[in-house]
Amino acid sequence: MKREIVFTSSYSSQLGALISLSKYFKNKDLENHCKNIIVFHISSKGDPNCRYSCFVDNGRNILGPKYQIRVIRINSILKRLFLLFFISSIKILGLNNKLNIWEPSPNWLERLFYYKNINLNLFKNYFKNIKFYGDGFLCLSQTSIPFWLDKEKLPTENKNHYSKSIFYYSYNLNSSINKKHKYIQIKANYIKNIFNKLNLNSKKIKKRKYRNLIIFPLTTFFETNRSSLESELSLYIDYLNEKINKEKDILLIKPHPGNLEIKKKLLIKRLKSENFNLLNNKFEKDQIIELPLKIIPLELLCSILVKKLNINEKDIKIALNSNATLSTSYLFPEIKCLKPFGEKLILKYIKKEFIRKRIIQEKLLIKKIYEK
pLDDT digits (tens, 9 = 90+) for 189-200: 999 999 988 877
Mean pLDDT (whole number) for 260-277? 95
* 262 neighbors 290 (Cβ within 8 angstroms): no
pLDDT of residue 140: 87
Q: Which of 43, 38, 30 is nearest to 55 (CA)?
A: 38
* 335 neighbors 302 (Cβ within 8 angstroms): yes
Q: How confident is the model at residue 150 (pLDDT cuts 50, 70, 90)?
A: low
Instruction: Give the CA angle between residues 19, 9, 319 to the nearest 5°.
Output: 75
Mean pLDDT (whole number) for 265-273? 96
Numbered ranges of CATH 3.40.50 in the chain: 213-371
Q: Which of 99, 159, 160 is nearest to 131 (CA)?
A: 99
Give the CATH architecture of domain 213-371.
3-Layer(aba) Sandwich (3.40)
* 244 neighbors 236 (Cβ within 8 angstroms): no
Q: How confident is the model at residue 155 (pLDDT cuts 50, 70, 90)?
A: very low
Residue 143 pLDDT > 60: yes
Q: What is the pLDDT of residues 287-303, one digit of tens each?
A: 778 899 999 999 999 99
Q: What percent of the chain has pLDDT over 90?
A: 67
User: Rounded CA gap, 140 and 20, in Å?
Assistant: 12
